[in-house]
Amino acid sequence: MEKKVNVANWFEIPVRDMSRAVAFYEHVCGVKLRPNEMGPLKMAWFPWEAGAEGAPGSLVCGPGYVPSDRGSIVYLTVDDLDAALGRVEATGGKVLQPRTPIGEYGFVAHFGDCEGNRVALHSMQ
């Protein structure tokens, strides 16, 4: 039987100041990021587990990586959307789209991070 795979399998969020971005995302998402380097790229990987739902990803600082509030939007899963949105503003980010219901799929909200990216949060509650 062929293994079913979602199309998206990795995401990267460009940053200018890795220390600032790591502090921001660790606080907003309530997770610990893991530093890594690949050639000229400095990275901070979000936690991931093999076989878990969702795509793993990383913050990335290096040549060709420019934060943007336009283009693709990454959705990060959180348990408590309202609490995470409060941490966004407390850490220097800005809520761009408040908590919005998406029917049986839960709720989403968009924010501007400390680096100038537009990112989104998703929660079932």
This prediction's pTM: 0.92
Phi, psi of 16 (to 5 degrees): -95, -40
Specify the 3-state DSSP secondary structure of 85: helix
Q: Give the number of other CB atoms < 10 A from CB of residue 18.
A: 18
Average pLDDT, the chain: 95
**pLDDT at residue 1 greater than cutoff 80:** no
Contacts of 10 (CB under 8 A, 6+ apart): 55, 56, 57, 58
Would 4 be classed as within a structural domain? no
CATH of the domain at 104: 3.10.180.10
> The domain containing residue 92 runs over which residues?
11-123
What would the pLDDT profile of 25-65 be if each residue is shown by its tens digit? Answer: 999 999 999 999 999 999 999 999 988 888 999 999 999 99
d(CA 6, CA 86): 31
pLDDT interval class at 18 (50, 70, 90)? very high
Would 19 be classed as within a structural domain? yes
Beta strands, E only, the chain: 11-14, 34-38, 41-45, 57-61, 75-77, 94-101, 107-112, 118-123
Q: Which of 90, 82, 88 lies closest to 119 in space, CA to CA?
A: 88
Would 40 be classed as within a structural domain? yes
Total structural domains in the chain?
1
Would 87 be classed as within a structural domain? yes
Which tops the pLDDT comparison, 6 or 102? 102
Cα 24 to Cα 9, 51, 104, 123: the distances in Å are: 23, 27, 29, 19
